[in-house]
Amino acid sequence: MLLLHCALLWLLLLPPGSRTQKLPTRDEELFQMQIRDKAFFHDSSVIPDGAEISSYLFRDTPKRYFFVVEEDNTPLAVTVTPCDAPLEWKLSVQELPEEASGDSSGEPEPLEQQKQQITNEESTELFSYKGNDVEYFVSSSSPSGLYQLDLLSTEKDTHFKVYATTTPESDQPYPELPYDPRIDVTSLGRTTVTLAWKPSPTASLLKQPIQYCIVINKEHNFKSLCAVEAKLSSDDAFMMAPKPGLDFSPFDFAHFGFPSDNNSGKERGFLKSSSKFGRQIPSKPRVDLHKICIGNKNIFTVSDLKPDTQYYFDMFAVNTNTNMSTAYVGTFARTKEEAKQKTVELKDGKVTDVFIKRKGAKFLRFAPVSSHQKVTFSVHSCLDAVQIQVRRDGKLLLSQNVEGVRQFQLRGKAKAKYLIRLKGSKKGASMLKILATTRPNKQSFPSLPEDTRIKAFDKLRTCSSVTVAWLGTQERNKFCIYKKEVDDNYNEEQKKREQNQCLGPDTRKKSEKVLCKYFHSQNIQKAVTTETIRGLQPGKSYLLDVYVIGHGGHSVKYQSKLVKTRKFC
């Protein structure tokens, strides 16, 4: 059990005079008493079992945490939440020292000797990650040992959160997402947007206290509530770092130019506080970011918005017992114009994001500045099909329904002006990306074959692998394939509820990635590639996705493929 014998670890990390302090254990009464006092863990490098801790990293300054698993075959889950900067972190384990103290008389070994006993042991890396996603390590059967969690921020000073537990099945501190975790835009006005979402099963089934918090801003979607709070509170101001006695020792703050209440700084001349060496952070304008917590309602109207402005909306389910949260799939919407809807001007070679409400329409205008022989329109529909109409100087040239990615090339004309009408789906709101250009080589969208299905070879299925194939083109592109285990009752209708198709592989978990490779063929008849995906579980269903990434960095997802390994081999 995690921290069951944490006295061993505490002896390694504290001076002898501090060893009478009690440690957090999974004795529930003692654990609950200790965890109420958050300061109990702030100055330690020990991760408590079943409680989320918050801490702070200086740029390029690594931080290490420890915890002990006493018994083999212990379940273990570790979750790391970056806040306002990407993190590099790894989890490793090494064998426990045989003894943490001296002979039976109780005389401890010198502290430095005990620490050396840890660092001299070789450790085995279990997991590593680099990025700003909420990432986790889960094992149903972990070996006993001393576990080390190493974290590093290479971009800037940042906050982060860590949660570890040896009882992941019963704890469940993070609210569970519903089967459809998207936020729906149900109504759109000039200054209002109405949002609706499915309730968390943690509230509807487990009856735990859940409240929902909506975040609104004009820049981008957020991956965690921690990232939102960091943006709201700091604007990168170093003064918002935790105070001495919480996440840092007085030594840390004296070194970085902060005064210390502890006398240790006075004993070392080079630690004296001086504003000369303090970090001077230039003031920045406040971000236009708002967080609203609305209780347990699952529909809400955001008001006081600006007309004809694009907003990003994020929803977080917060367990009020644990104060831990889970993010829904964010969305964005553009409020209606103040008066008559104006036409959006398209710039040559630039991708434009377009949002269309249910049964709505948008008008765009493209006026090339130079004479041209051809004009190309590339459209990527993120959700349901949309209708596109193109008129040149009033004459209808094109009228098509677009699903996925389509490219249309029309004959040009000197000084011509093109009016594009985009009509949304009757099923719901539509999101799409559109590119207009007179330069044939200016293509942000990757080329696609006519058939974007993934084919699975039934005869090549085994208990641990599947073999699939897909078509490419004559253009050399990068292809990345991802896998995700799903329930056996997963069907086509559920596939349609997946997050929008414009989200690329950067939104996927690192653990879902299979591989990336470049592929093309000058002979279009031979532009097909196969791949065997190994390491799967017998009798399990998996959803496979292939992303093609163009030279401009824009990615397009092929049609998802549901496969199942053989149960018996």
420 and 482 fall within a common domain: no
pTM, entire model: 0.44
Exposed/middle/buried for residue 451 (C-beta within 10 Å: 0-12, 13-18, 19+): exposed
Q: Is the pLDDT of residue 256 over 90?
A: no
Confidence band (pLDDT; 50, 70, 90) for 213?
A: very high
**Does 32 map to a domain?**
no
Q: Which of 101-105, 396-400, 521-525 has the lowest mean pLDDT?
A: 101-105
d(CA 331, CA 319): 22
> Strand, helix or coil at 499?
coil
Q: How far is CA 301 from the centre of its chain?
A: 26
Q: Which of 9-18, 215-224, 444-453, 514-523 has the lowest mean pLDDT?
A: 9-18
| Residue where one domain finishes, among candidates 437, 465, 490 | 437
Task: Give the pLDDT score at 13.
Answer: 46
**Does 497 map to a domain?**
yes
Kind of pairing between the strands at 395-402 and 361-366: unpaired
H/E/C letters for each residue in 204-238? HCCCCCEEEEEEEECCCCCCCHHHHHHHHHCCCCH
Confidence band (pLDDT; 50, 70, 90) for 182?
A: very high
| Residue where one domain finishes, among candidates 310, 338, 366 | 338
Q: Is the pLDDT of residue 340 over 60?
A: yes
d(CA 342, CA 363): 8
d(CA 87, CA 263): 34
**Does 270 map to a domain?**
no
Choose between 504 and 442: higher pLDDT: 504
Task: Give the pLDDT score at 513.
Answer: 93
Q: What percent of the chain has pLDDT over 70?
A: 75
**Does 258 map to a domain?**
no
188 and 145 fall within a common domain: no
Interaxial angle between packed helices 6-13 and 111-119, expressed in degrees from 0 to 180 and rounded to the nearest 10: 120
- Across residues 23-40, what is the average pLDDT? 43
Task: Give the pLDDT score at 88.
Answer: 93
Kind of pairing between the strands at 344-345 and 361-366: parallel
423 and 469 fall within a common domain: no
Confidence band (pLDDT; 50, 70, 90) for 184?
A: very high
473 and 537 fall within a common domain: yes
Q: Domain of residue 153: give its range.
A: 51-96+123-171
416 and 486 fall within a common domain: no
As for how many domains the chain has, the answer is 4
Confidence band (pLDDT; 50, 70, 90) for 100?
A: very low
**pLDDT tens per residue across span 356-371:** 888 888 999 999 887 7
**Does 269 map to a domain?**
no
Choose between 73 and 448: higher pLDDT: 73
Q: Which CATH number covers residue 480?
A: 2.60.40.10
Tracing tokens 């960095």 back to the chain, one arrives at 553
Task: Give the pLDDT score at 493.
Answer: 64
Q: Is the pLDDT of residue 249 over 60?
A: no
- Across residues 41-50, what is the average pLDDT? 70
**Does 200 map to a domain?**
yes
Q: Is the pLDDT of residue 21 over 80?
A: no
> Strand, helix or coil at 274?
coil
Q: Is the pLDDT of residue 247 over 60?
A: no
Mean pLDDT for the chain? 78
d(CA 109, CA 88): 34
| Residue where one domain finishes, among candidates 296, 314, 338 | 338
d(CA 217, CA 208): 29
Q: Is the pLDDT of residue 236 over 60?
A: no
Task: Give the pLDDT score at 474.
Answer: 84
Q: Is the pLDDT of residue 219 over 70?
A: yes
Task: Give the pLDDT score at 239.
Answer: 36
**Does 447 map to a domain?**
no
Task: Give the pLDDT score at 506.
Answer: 85
Q: What percent of the chain has pLDDT over 90?
A: 33
